[in-house]
Amino acid sequence: MPRHTFYLDTLLGRKVFDPDGRCAGRIEEIIAHTHDGQCEVEEFLLGTAGLFQRLSIAHVARHLLRLLGAHGHPASHRVPWRELDLQDPRRPRLRCSTASLKKIP
Amino acid sequence: MTHNPHDEPPRLHLVRDVLDSALKDRNEEPLGRADRIVIALHGDAPPQVVSIETGSSALAARLSPRLGRAAHRLGRRFGLRRGRPTRFRWSSVTSIGPDLHLDIDKSRSPASLWERWLLRHIIRRIPGMK
C-alpha cells in the first residue's frame, strides 16, 4: 500500500465539512498517543474548545465563558481518526454526520 | 504530554506539546525547534507521525508557501544542505516534556552543519580562538 505523507500544519485551521456539506468546525488540535517508538493519531479536535486545549486555557476559558453567560461551544467536536478523510489534507472531509460526533464540553 | 495512570499509552497534543518545541540531543545540546511535523497515511492504519523537520526553510514554508519557496531558492544557492530542512525520524524521540529529547548526536547531525562550518572557517581563524 503506497504511503501518503503531508505536514500537520496543512490541516490546522482547515474547516471540516460532513457529507451533507455542514461545517463541523476548524481543526485546532490533534491528539496522538505513543507506543513502541511510534506515534499514532487518535482524534482531531475541532472548534473553539479545541483551540482552548491547544492554548492550555480550556478550564479558565470555560469558567470565564460560563460567567459571561455562554453555554458550551456550538461547533466544538472530537473526531476519531477513522471518521476523517485526509486523502486531500487541504480539504478534510467527515465520513459521518456532524450530529454523530462527540461534543467537547 | 498527558500521562494516564491506567497503563494506557501516553496521550499528547501534537500542536501544544510538539510543534515549536525545542529539540535537544542526547547530551542536552540544542538542535533547533520542531518547525514541522510529517504525518503519513498508510492504508487503513491510523495516521502516523513519522518525522519532525527543523530549519529556516521548514519554518518559512509553514508560515507561507511563497516564503517557503524563497527560502528554498536561497538555501539551494547558499545553503550547506541545498535548502533541504533537517528531518528527524519520530523513532529517535526519547522523551517529550518542555523540550523534545532525541537520541541524536549533535556533532554528527546535519542540524549543526552551519555551526561546524562557522567554527572551521571563521571562529578558528580568529587569533586567540581554538
pLDDT, tens digit (0-9, with 9 covering 90-100), for B42-53: 988 999 999 999
Nearest residue of B to residue A87, measured between CA atoms: B41
Does B2 have pLDDT greater than 50? Answer: no
**Residue of B1, B3, B14 best to disrupt the A interface, most CBs of A under 10 A:** B14
Residue A15 contacts residue A23 (beta carbons within 8 Å): yes
The yes/no answer to whether this complex scores an ipTM above 0.85 is: no
Ranking A59-63, B13-17, B118-122 by mean pLDDT, the lowest is A59-63
Strand residue runs (E) in chain A: 4-7, 15-17, 23-35, 38-46, 77-80, 84-85, 93-94, 102-103
Does A73 have pLDDT greater than 70? Answer: no
d(CA B130, CA B51): 36
d(CA B49, CA B46): 10
Taken in order B37, B59, B35, A80, the sign of the CA dihedral is: negative
A contact set with B (CB within 8 A) = 1, 3-9, 12, 28-35, 37-42, 53-56, 81-82, 86-87
Residue B56 contacts residue B33 (beta carbons within 8 Å): no
Per-residue cell: B44:
487503513
Among residues A30, A44, A31, the alpha carbon closest in space to that of A77 is found at A44
Taking the alpha carbons at both ends of chain A, their separation in whole angstroms is 38
